[in-house]
Structure formats: C-alpha cells, structure tokens
Amino acid sequence: MRGERVGGPWPTWPPGFTLAEADRSAALVLSALSGLTPRRLLAYASQGRSASACLELVRRGELGSSRDRRFAKELGGVEIATRLDRCGARTVVWDDAAYPTQLRTIHDPPFVLYVRGGPLPGAERAVAIVGSRRCTALGRELAQAIGYGLASVGVTVVSGAAVGIDSASHEGALEVGGPTVAVLGGGVDAAGTGSRRSLIERIVDHGAVVSEYPPGVPPVAFRFPARNRIVAGLCRATVVVEGAQGSGSLITGSHALEFGRDVYAVPGAPTNPLSHVPLQLIREGATMIRGAEDLLEDLGVDRAPGGEALDLTLAEAAALRSLVGPTLPERVARELRVGLADALTLLVRLEMRGLVRSVGGRFEATLAATARTG
C-alpha cells in the first residue's frame, strides 16, 4: 500500500539554522531540553531564527519551560560534544550534506541526529520492520526471516532495537552480515545491559545507531512515539509483523502512510490480540505479505538465491508434513502408523534441527521448515 502525504509539505528548519559553529553548538543544547519538542521549536525557527537565537529565547524564559531555562543555562554544547567523543558518536545537523534527504520531507524533522557507526542509508535501500515487544515465537521468526531476506540483498533493515520484533529483525540482518540501523528513544549512548547492549554494539559494527537525543538522555516512554516518526521517515516502506491495539507499531505504520511511504503487514489469526494492528492496517489498505519473498517481489528487489533443500529421511519428511498447526505427538503417530515413542523420536530430531518446536505439549513446524519446503 502506498500512503498518501497528509497535510504536507510541512514546515522545515530554515536554511542556515545550524550552519554556523555557534549554531551547531546551540543545537546540541536545544536537543537535550525535555520540554521543547521539535514541533514547538520549529514554530519559532521557521520565523527565520537560528539555533543560537532560539537558545537565547529559552535562556530568557520566552521559549520552553522553566526547567528548560535552568538546564540551558547550566549545559553547554562543549559538554555534550565531550560526551559524544566518549561514546564514539558524531552529529549530523540540518545544514549538513550528510543529513538524510528522506527526513527533510517528514513532519517535525529532527534538526540534529546523533550517530554511532556508519553512514545512514538512502530511502530507496531502507525498510523498517516494527511490531510488538511481547511477540509470539512465530512473530519473532517472521521478523528475523524478513530482516535476513532484506539484508541478504543489501537492503538496510531499520527498527528500534527493542525486545521482541525489533530485536528479531536486527538479528536477521546481522545473521547474514547485512546492514541494519537502530533508532533509539533515548540518548545515542543508551545501549542498556546484557543482550541488548551486545545487540547495539553489533549494530554499530554493521550499520548505525541513531537518535535525536544526545548522550545521557534517558529512554522514557514519551520519547518513543517521537522516535517512530524517524523510523518510518528513514525508509521507503514499513513492515508491521505483530502489534496489539494501541501499540507503537500502529503509530509507525500511520507515520509511514502520512509520509507517502509503502506499508506492509503480516496477517495473523483474528483471535490473536497481536494481530490487531496488522489486520487493521490491511483492512485500511496495507499490502498483505507472508514473508520476505512477497516483500522483495513487491519492492521490485532481486531476491537472493534460495537455500539448500532439506536433507530429511522419508520418515522425518512424513512427520514434518503431518504438522498442520500445533499437533499432538499421538496424532503424528497415528498418521504415520508408528508407535508414540518412534513419533516422538522423529519430532525431537526435527526440533534439534530448528524445523519443529514444542508448544504446550504440541509440535508445530517453524518458519525455517516451511520456507525450505515450499
């Protein structure tokens, strides 16, 4: 589904807003103010004011909150620049040639981006994958497979590095050594701990981590909806895998439609609450896809050669074919006309190869199995 630009063209930052060195420094401070959104700041900047002039309004109490005024008086651009050096990040401001062209056409575009890693992609080679944090096992597999399929042909996978669908899509891209970009809802140094920190560092090595917030800004909930406009704005298309009613994945999909970008959704069972957003988007005209193959075909991107066929014994292949949805091992035994112990042996062998999983005592084929058996 191709979205239609709604209400655009929108106001943008005036030429020269961040051109002078003093303005670049002022932009760093402005980006750290929690009470001053790009939309509010843009209303003043569009009157021809530079970043330095806007910062002076904040310090005089004519713009932003009283907390912003105190913060702006205490914090300087040099301090933020020092933090950037410590975490290995750089800035891309509105007047830089490296500023992504596709972000110049969205509403409330960020006037500064903080980036760790490589260059940001052009829109034609970038696709967003978004969805639920509390995803199903199948949703995770789908997101990972779509990320893998896109990255294998050089398309950059863009997501938010959150647990669930976001992380799975990044993992899929990283599995094939392809490009991926994480857009954070906090400071560019907000790597978290444990597995998420490891994921962020791998993304830095193979792509980029980007934020409109400087180091030290906490990733609190109200910043994530704003983050979603950047995820959608960086890409030519957005794919929604799973999402419950009221989730951020609907916000991202709506932004993509608003910006005139393509929107795709992976359907699920109507009884599954996580199918709400994909089914709603499909009902409203989003293109339904079953996986990476459908997506690449619709995007007009040449697909990578198919993987090797499964090397299964006749008994293993028969057991795999018998799994039409979650299936009890007793049913597999009856269909194959073998004992329960033999059926369980076959299913466990398939599970060890990643072709089958056990859920609540029932077995079902994984996406890896269905993709390689047609």
Tens of pLDDT, residue by residue over 36-69, are 888 889 989 988 899 999 999 999 999 989 999 9
Average pLDDT over every residue of 142-157: 93
Res. 309: pLDDT tops 70: no
What per-residue confidence (pLDDT) applies to 212? 95
Per the rule left: phi > 0, alpha: psi between -120 and 50, beta: everything else, 177 is: left
The number of distinct structural domains making up the chain is: 2
Domain membership of residue 10 (yes or no) is no
- Confidence (pLDDT) at 196: 82
Per DSSP (E only), the strands in the chain are 90-93, 112-117, 126-130, 156-159, 180-183, 208-211, 237-240, 262-265, 287-288, 356-359, 362-365
**Which pLDDT does position 361 carry in this prediction?**
87
Looking at the fold, whether 138 and 258 belong to one and the same domain comes out as yes
Domain shared by 287 and 249, yes or no: yes
pLDDT at 13 over 90: yes
Tell me: do 346 and 261 sit in the same domain: no
d(CA 122, CA 120): 7
The confidence band for 1, taking pLDDT boundaries of 50, 70 and 90, is low
| Confidence tier at 131 by pLDDT (50, 70, 90) | very high
Q: Does 208 share its domain with 251?
A: yes
**Nearest in space to 347 (alpha carbons), one of 308, 361, 142:** 361
pLDDT at 232 over 60: yes
- Do the beta carbons of residue 235 and residue 256 sit within 8 Å? yes
Domain region containing 268: 123-299
| 286 and 210 part of one domain | yes
β-strand pairing of 126-130 with 237-240? parallel
Q: 183 pairs with which residues across the strands?
A: 210
Domain contains 173: yes
